[in-house]
Structure 1
């Protein structure tokens, strides 16, 4: 795994010591737009599944692999794009990635079979996986160090914001033009943005002046007393992204099976995304005020309670929307908190590797979640039983954080 480039001090100082310039602001805005579009295309499939299922006469249970396909592509591209960007630059990796997910979103709009959906969503995922991490890297490298937590945190809001935009667009477009129109929008917008990126997105100044550095071996995550802490940290990453992508992928379909209209599923995803924006923006300040352990354990416990509430009130609109709003705050806020916790847990010399592998394990959870929903549906579990099963990953995540916080090594990270 490659490590961040070492930047000559004059270049770093030029960025760190002066106010944000127009070029820096423009770069940050463009990267933020890329992440919003990434969020749109990553998460739009979940609330389109019920409509596609009815339109193409494909059983709901068959959509598990389709929902996971984009996430598999995303994981592969996220791992592969780093070395490519280190060699050829962040700018072209972002641009090509946006072109890729634009193209295959448009092709998804033409799909007529399950296999076509599976293929096009996987290829869309390859573009999504290359775009987001490199847009974040480019943003970080154009942002003064003193502002990096604020700016990088702010552009991560683009993921739930993109899902929110997609849900609102779908609620308007599906009745008028059908589900295919949502994918057309999800392809045309990034295509226009990709053309703009070719003209306006600059290359990283840090990358241009970098000197190569060898990567940090993964084995160092398990030395100097960090082995148990690393494994315990991976548990909530895996479990939380499992829950997050399960909700985004299957909640609309489960609500539909519970007798709710398709519009209710779209509203639920919208409320979950609004909650995600609130949670992402507030998590850091709350963790600073009362400690990571208290916040994260509390969020996962509350997540379990809300899942029970959602399972029992899935056919009642107002309580269901309230539960999904607060669930969005907890689940997506917790993910922002886990990212920060990983950075605090690992010392400087293994921090990049530690964060990267924690997120990689989390991506496995994001693939398992949608697939698990399809398996449970094929076993004829009811929507209520499937939702109740979500208590288990939330409880495992809370327990892992509670145990890890009592380890003597790096315990301050949890306080």
Structure 2
């Protein structure tokens, strides 16, 4: 028995480790456009709105990627879809570095987003199903902390400033994922729960997520994902440019982004560990009051040392809160529709992620300052906080998706 237990722990550790490496590259690729923004704008003569579309092209690709990746994974397996998605975003990250004009750049970012979007629901499903209900929260947190650490790696590359050309972050984000593919093929196990409960009749449809008993939890998940990711991606994509507009140098902006991602990594682990220990009200207040306060501080701070601290706190609550959502979603769905349910929630979140950069771009083009952009996020943060409060309050009731039937 002990030997089997150690073997199971070893498989879980290997699964978390491999998924962490993919998440690391996902975080780097998600942050890459923001880090390379100034260089891309100069290379392709982009104004603010054109740059906003470069940011949003990748996010638009995340939407069909998350929906299709989750839906297909519930039919053909989490592992095969993860292999395909990592290959896709690796290849098109390289294509971004090789883009020769504006529309080739947009297409490369769009297809990178499709690969990134398909990867995330499968990372969550593989990790949560390997860990089981008892360890699910901490396992997903350990895996997902690779995303902010990958973004921190992108920020560190950005701190090289004129030492590195803007394409560097995309070369790194393309080559390493392609090197990971054979490792994933050789060492990553398919989910045992998927193998045991594989749907032979074609699988569940998206309508299963909106049936009685499931619809309220699904809609709450969608609301919390939409508004939380709106804020997170506004920060990821526009904060470096906003900081430069406030008078900070590009190197200082990269340092703030680095601190934001370190805060995000700590927040991912800390908030994931607190998820089952604090009351729903305390958890929702902690995440979303912290997020709101740090956003307002980002818009009003003028000292660099204070900005570093505020950036750290913003990352802790914004991305840490996002991780709580990713650990929360698998609780509400059975194995047969888990990747579909998580993928649908991620896709709705990507709509928020797409809206955030475009909204900020329009507000800045209309003359709103950094403080105005940050303050405009407050209503969405309130809605997301209320949704998370209700979800956490009913999480045990829907544990393991017992209330969500495939039908």
- Is the pair's TM-score, using the shorter chain for normalization, greater than 0.5? yes
Cα distance in structure 2, aligned partners of 1:220 and 1:197: 30
Any idea what SS the aligned residue of 1:289 has? coil
Deviation at 1:109, TM superposition (A): 0.8
- 1:320 aligns to what? 307
Deviation at 1:47, TM superposition (A): 2.1
Cα distance in structure 2, aligned partners of 1:25 and 1:18: 10
1:223 aligns to 2:223 (yes or no):
no
Q: Structure 1 179/413 Cα, relative in aligned 2: closer, same or farther at 3 Å? A: farther
Cα distance in structure 1, aligned partners of 2:84 and 2:287: 38
Cα distance in structure 2, aligned partners of 1:110 and 1:42: 18
Q: Structure 1 359/101 Cα, relative in aligned 2: closer, same or farther at 3 Å? A: closer
- 2:359 aligns to what? 372
Which residue of the other structure, out of 227, 247, 251, is the alignment partner of 2:239?
251
- 1:7 aligns to what? none
- 1:283 aligns to what? 271
Cα distance in structure 1, aligned partners of 2:254 and 2:19: 27
Query: Unaligned regions of 5+ residues in structure 1, if any?
Result: 1-12
Of the structure 1 ranges 291-300 and 194-203, higher mean CA displacement relative to structure 2 is found in: 194-203
Cα distance in structure 2, aligned partners of 1:76 and 1:220: 17
**Which one has the largest radius of gyration?**
1
Cα distance in structure 1, aligned partners of 2:19 and 2:276: 27
Deviation at 1:138, TM superposition (A): 3.1
Contact 1:16 1:145 in 2 (8 A): no
| Residue-by-residue CA offset, 1:238-258 (whole Å, 9 max, x unaligned) | 111100000000000111112
- 1:381 aligns to what? 368
Which residue of the other structure, out of 9, 12, 18, is the alignment partner of 1:30?
18
Contact 2:137 2:273 in 1 (8 A): no
RMSD value, Cα = 3.3
1:229-378 equivalences under 5 Å are: 231-313=219-301, 315-342=302-329, 346=332, 352=338, 355-378=342-365
Contact 1:297 1:398 in 2 (8 A): yes
Contact 1:239 1:362 in 2 (8 A): yes
- 1:190 aligns to what? 177
Cα distance in structure 2, aligned partners of 1:46 and 1:192: 24
Q: Structure 1 208/337 Cα, relative in aligned 2: closer, same or farther at 3 Å? A: closer
Cα distance in structure 1, aligned partners of 2:234 and 2:96: 21
| Residue-by-residue CA offset, 1:242-297 (whole Å, 9 max, x unaligned) | 00000000000111112211112211221111111111111133343331222212
Cα distance in structure 2, aligned partners of 1:15 and 1:362: 41
Contact 1:292 1:337 in 2 (8 A): no
Contact 1:164 1:270 in 2 (8 A): yes
- 2:97 aligns to what? 109
Cα distance in structure 2, aligned partners of 1:343 and 1:199: 26
Any idea what SS the aligned residue of 1:20 has? helix
Contact 2:121 2:342 in 1 (8 A): no
Deviation at 1:95, TM superposition (A): 2.0
Cα distance in structure 1, aligned partners of 2:330 and 2:72: 24
- 1:10 aligns to what? none
Which residue of the other structure, out of 375, 383, 393, is the alignment partner of 2:380?
393
Cα distance in structure 1, aligned partners of 2:143 and 2:351: 23
Contact 1:236 1:397 in 2 (8 A): yes
Contact 1:272 1:326 in 2 (8 A): yes
Any idea what SS the aligned residue of 2:277 has? helix
Contact 2:226 2:352 in 1 (8 A): yes
Query: Unaligned regions of 5+ residues in structure 2, if any?
Result: 399-407
1:162 aligns to 2:144 (yes or no):
no
After TM superposition, the score normalised by the length of structure 2 is 0.85
